[in-house]
């Protein structure tokens, strides 16, 4: 935890917070901070800065905070990802939050196992928890938006065209001929399929929406590796 992420309810005065949950335990046991120590802090969807511990006991930490800095700029990316298996989704949400991705659509595809949609990881509270871990890791405060889209066709044909107006459109596709560009650094919608890839009909639907299939090379990467590799290469 490189940043203590604060919420409205933590503030007992405009410049003072009281922590009594996991963050408190983390500060005491992992960071091993002491009264007087200064920690990186940031308020959810707001500024970041420092917090100085003014008092602490086993279950409560009070900090004097000074939040005067903007969080790092978001990536100009909308990521559309076929729902990965739940265990991998946790890590992907953390990675995406830490990389600065702010718009995430988890969508269905023929090769997404139906059971994945019933996973507890998709609960609002679990999603938020994994996003917070990523933000705390990378020192950011802007919480990504995660949208669940249970049906491929209505999403791809009706919502996606609106989302990608005036944006570069990339479909990560291991079988593509074109190699994925480097450092495009402009507004982009990136679509990444499931393990095993989108079926041909889904690829065609996306191509019809102006998406260009692109590859990272001969190697077929796990979704979680591919997500990081693609984001890191597109935005430099």
Kindly tell me which residue out of 28, 38, 109, 138 binds a second copy, with binding defined by CB under 8 A. Answer: 138
Binding status of residue 115 toward a second copy by CB under 8 A: no
Kindly tell me which residue out of 28, 64, 137, 215 binds a second copy, with binding defined by CB under 8 A. Answer: 137
- How far apart are the C-alpha atoms of 187 and 185, rounded to whole Å? 7
- Report 62-91 residues binding a second copy (CB under 8 A): 72
Helix (H) or strand (E) holding 171: strand 168-172
- How far apart are the C-alpha atoms of 68 and 191, rounded to whole Å? 36
Helix (H) or strand (E) holding 61: strand 61-69
Q: Closer to a second copy at the Cβ: 150 or 175?
A: 175
Going across the sheet that includes 61-69, the strands are 4-6, 38-43, 48-56, 61-69, 16-19, 11-13
Work out how close the CB of 31 gets to a second copy at its nearest, in angstroms, rounded to a whole number. Answer: 11
- Report 2-31 residues binding a second copy (CB under 8 A): 2
Q: Closer to a second copy at the Cβ: 177 or 236?
A: 236
Give the number of residues in contact with a second copy, rule: CB under 8 A. Answer: 28
Binding status of residue 95 toward a second copy by CB under 8 A: yes
Q: Closer to a second copy at the Cβ: 8 or 218?
A: 218
Binding status of residue 112 toward a second copy by CB under 8 A: no
Binding status of residue 217 toward a second copy by CB under 8 A: yes
Neighbours of 9 (CB within 10 A): 8
Binding status of residue 233 toward a second copy by CB under 8 A: yes
- How far apart are the C-alpha atoms of 66 and 198, rounded to whole Å? 48
Nearest to 226 by CA among 61, 33, 102, 82: 82
Task: List residues binding a second copy (CB under 8 A).
Answer: 2, 72, 94-95, 98-100, 137-140, 182-183, 216-222, 225, 228-233, 236
């Amino acid at each position: 935890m490189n940043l203590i992420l604060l919420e409205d309810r933590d503030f007992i005065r405009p410049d003072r917070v009281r922590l009594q949950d996991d963050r408190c335990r983390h500060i005491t046991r992992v960071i091993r901070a002491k009264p007087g120590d200064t920690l990186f802090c940031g308020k959810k969807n707001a500024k970041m800065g420092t917090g100085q511990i003014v008092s602490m006991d086993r279950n409560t930490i009070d900090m004097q905070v000074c939040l005067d800095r903007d969080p790092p700029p978001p990536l100009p990316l909308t990521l559309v990802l076929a729902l990965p298996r739940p265990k991998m989704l946790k890590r992907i949400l953390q990675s995406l939050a830490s990389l600065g991705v702010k718009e995430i659509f988890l969508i269905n595809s023929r090769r997404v196992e139906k059971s994945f949609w019933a996973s507890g990881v998709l609960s609002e509270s679990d999603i938020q928890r994994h996003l917070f871990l990523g933000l705390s890791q990378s020192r950011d405060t802007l919480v990504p938006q995660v949208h669940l889209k249970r049906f491929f066709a209505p999403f791809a044909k009706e919502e996606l065209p609106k989302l990608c107006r005036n944006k570069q459109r990339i479909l990560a596709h291991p079988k593509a001929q074109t190699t994925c560009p480097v450092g495009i650094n402009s507004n982009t919608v990136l679509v990444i399929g499931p393990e095993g890839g989108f079926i041909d009909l889904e690829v065609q639907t996306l191509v019809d929406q102006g998406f260009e299939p692109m590859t990272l090379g001969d190697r077929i990467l796990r979704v979680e590796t591919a997500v990081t590799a693609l984001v890191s290469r597109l935005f430099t």
